[in-house]
Structure 1
């Protein structure tokens, strides 16, 4: 995997050229407000001062290009700070290449399905209220689209919800169960990914190809661990519940 050139055509700045913050914003496509925010957050070095005028150069433009790329791939401010703090500058381009190759498609195994809000309401016989739809969307399991339709991010999970309803569970309770599950799994996923990231950033150099391979191999291990552990934990909790009821 080849790393992208650090500055792109629209972010390249001559090493001898110094820019005002407004000129840097125009050159890089990053707003003045965000440039200042990145500086305050420690992601961007302070400008060189000429009197009261702050001047920016090539290093600022290159780092802004990387910040913008990582932000586009979904990295948060804290994650970018960790990358800049723990990985050498020579590895940043490789990390961007990895992010480009795996973002949005590595762990998602289902193709989302789009349904109309009317069809979704019909499935639940009027139980799907706007408030419940908002809750389901906040859990991250479905998404309301601008045209009013609903994107089911996991069609299989939607089918499971319908089967639970067939057992007599009200939709509100089904969504409550999914909210709890999503919250717990999100915490688990963050811990897994943070551990992987810490391992990848531990060395002096980042091997982009090895990183992509490690993440690819981690996918079935992560999902397999959840599938293996949940039945055991479910049985343990059932046994505990029965003991309390006895």
Structure 2
């Protein structure tokens, strides 16, 4: 079995000696074996170190990583736990991003693109800058923007609308997340974290959330738009129709 000194371990794992010390201080990495004044790490240390780095890159905190490792050591299957995490955090959109130059973007939208527009769109997460190009994260939103511009809606108004919609969808996402936390994956339950035998069913239930959430929001939005448009027609067009087509005419 291979053995590593601390600098060799850090190099093999693609990290720094300082990080190795931090992970040991946080009880994430076991202490090395000491022979005299020298400390030696094993392949098991390297595997653990790579796991820690992978979890950190996925957004886990040190406390969460410690809990996962504890669960793993107590007999739960860490692969299953991470599989559940992947189900819950997988992207909810199947749209492939589109890369284009600023000139191509201007042609797509039918008007020149001001730097402030790009800055605002990047802040909203609609675009990403990549050198001289932009990466459009949602071609559907780009299509919607083009159609609104063609209908006469100014770009600043479209961006304001996008920000408002984003704010409300964030609130909806938080609402669904509270439901998940309470009923689907109750993390405050004495039975959390779940056992290995419960993970597949939990992952399957979590995977059904995407179409259910999207269908729920779409159905309620359709109803709200129908009511709002009916009210708008009655308020805005009703008086006009009465003037043009008075009773008895």
TM-score normalised by the shorter chain: which range applies? 0.5 to 0.7
Give the Cα–Cα distance (whole angstroms) in 2 for the partners of residues 135 and 222 of structure 1.
Answer: 28
Distance 1:94 1:31, change over 3 A: farther
Task: Name stretches of at least 5 consecutive residues in structure 2 with no aligned partner.
Answer: 233-249
Match of 2:162 in 1: 178
Deviation at 1:220, TM superposition (A): 0.3
Summarize the alignment of residues 1-246 of structure 1 with structure 2, pairs less than 5 Å apart: 19-20=5-6, 22-36=7-21, 38=23, 42=26, 44-45=28-29, 47=31, 60-72=45-57, 75-78=58-61, 81-82=63-64, 84-85=66-67, 88-89=71-72, 90-98=76-84, 106-146=91-131, 148-189=132-173, 192-193=176-177, 196=180, 199=185, 202-206=192-196, 207-231=198-222
Look up the match of 1:10.
none
Count of aligned positions: 220
Deviations 1:165-202 (A, max 9, x none): 22322212212221232244245435645764781762
Q: CA RMSD in A?
A: 4.1
Q: Which has the higher contact order (CA 8 A, sep 6+)?
A: 1
Gap runs ≥5 in structure 1? 1-12, 242-246
Asked whether the equivalents of residues 117 and 149 of structure 1 are also in contact (C-alpha less than 8 Å), the reply is: yes
Question: Secondary structure of 2:185's partner?
Answer: helix
